[in-house]
Amino acid sequence: MHLIRRATIGDCAAIGAAQARAFFDDPLQSWALPDPGTRLQLLAEMFTLLTRVVSVPHGESFVDAGCATAAFWVPPGAWGQALSDAARRSLSVLDVQLAPDTTRRFALANDAMHAAHPPGEHWYLQGLGTDPSMQRRGLGAAVLAPVLERADADAIPCYLESTKLTNLPFYERLGFAVTGTLSIGDSGPTLWTMWREPTPPGNREGVAS
């Protein structure tokens, strides 16, 4: 059994470091940050800042005891809401740290995801990552369980975009189904959109990740 809890501000640096390792070879991050020599440090800084400014304030980000894995959820009705002035000022540091071409590529990806985002009430899985050294121990499924169980109990669907074809079976075992693909301009990677209808209690399968 894994101890899963809500992420706190004090976890942000540990989360950022683990997520940087988890996403180092991710197609989207590799495309936006093509230099492997600087990618890990930039990803750590990005994930730390985004976790502190965006994810933790939503109150629905979950981690294991060592912050090796994290799931970043946006609750129903919160997706698309404007950031506060303080949050925008905090995030503006990324414009200084990142090369203009990187900023442009992330903007292209965000625009594509926003255009495809489904309407209606749903939980949005904005991100899920596990430190490579801790993968295939069931942490991914465990860290998703708190929100998936709530979604089932409240009869609310869930939505995500996957950046890796190899991750689709993992999500499918948790009840998600592919609904389409997203093509990002400038030779960007393909993303898969996935939707999960609420599952009656007792019908979900546990999986390892």
Q: Which two tokens stand for residue 169?
A: 């079976």
Higher pLDDT, 204 or 120: 120
Residue 91 binned pLDDT confidence (cut-offs 50, 70, 90): confident
Please report, for residues 81, 188, 195, 207, the alpha-carbon distance to residue 145 in angstroms, rounded to integers and kept in the order given.
Answer: 25, 31, 16, 11
Entry pTM: 0.90
What contacts 109, CB < 8 A, 6 or more positions away?
Answer: 28, 32, 184, 188, 191
**What average pLDDT does the chain have?**
91
In contact, 11 and 26? CB cutoff 8 Å: no
What is the DSSP secondary structure assignment for residue 32, as one 8-state letter? H
What's the rounded Cα separation, in Å, for the pair 29 and 189?
10
Mean pLDDT of 191-204: 85
State the pLDDT at residue 90: 72
If one compares 27 and 96, the residue with the highest pLDDT of the two is: 27
206 has a pLDDT exceeding 60: no
Residue with tokens 């295939």: 136
